[in-house]
Amino acid sequence: MPVKVVDASVLAAWCFREPRASEALEILRGSELHAPLLLAYELTSIARRKSIMLPENRVALEEAIRMAFAVPVHWNEVDHLAVLRLALAANVTTYDACYLYLAKKLGAPLATFDQQLARAALMG
């Protein structure tokens, strides 16, 4: 089973049934998924933002976040000093650098819909 580092853009697209949900499912399917602990906070923040924008969908959004956390993900700590250095070198946020760091550490591809992050991952 191939190892992939998954970011919030992909997992959120799938669990919140966003326009790229089917594409996200194909990326997730059949992979051993890894993510920094940050992913949990990002998904929760997305659910909060969507709940504020669409309060009538709160129950569905809570179910979506439950689904996301049911996905088997290997949660990983990151070296924050290394993340800082990588963020500066790649000119990305420290949040994005957490995913880059983990992908680099595991020697695994990064599954993301964020084009800037995808470019940074390719430049590696």
Residue-wise pLDDT tens digits, 81-113? 999 999 999 999 999 999 999 999 999 999 999
User: Per residue in 56-72, pLDDT tens?
Assistant: 999 999 999 999 999 99
Tell me how far apart the alpha carbons of residues 65 and 100 are, in angstroms, rounded to a whole number: 24
Work out how many domains the chain is built from and give that number.
Answer: 1
The overall pTM is greater than 0.85: yes
pLDDT of residue 124: 66
- Structural domain for 94, as ranges: 3-123
Residues 46-59 have a mean pLDDT of 96
* Structure token digits, residue 24: 């996200």
Residue 73, beta-bridge partner list:
33
CATH number, residue 84 = 3.40.50.1010
Q: What average pLDDT is seen over the chain?
A: 96
- Name the residue among 111, 122, 120 with its Cα closest to residue 35: 111
Tell me how far apart the alpha carbons of residues 60 and 86 are, in angstroms, rounded to a whole number: 37
Neighbours of 6 (CB within 10 A): 26
pLDDT of residue 52: 97
Tell me how far apart the alpha carbons of residues 38 and 59 are, in angstroms, rounded to a whole number: 24
Tell me how far apart the alpha carbons of residues 1 and 44 are, in angstroms, rounded to a whole number: 28
Alpha-helix residue ranges (DSSP H) falling in 1-124:
8-15, 21-28, 38-53, 58-70, 80-90, 94-106, 115-123
pLDDT at 50 over 70: yes
pLDDT of residue 123: 85
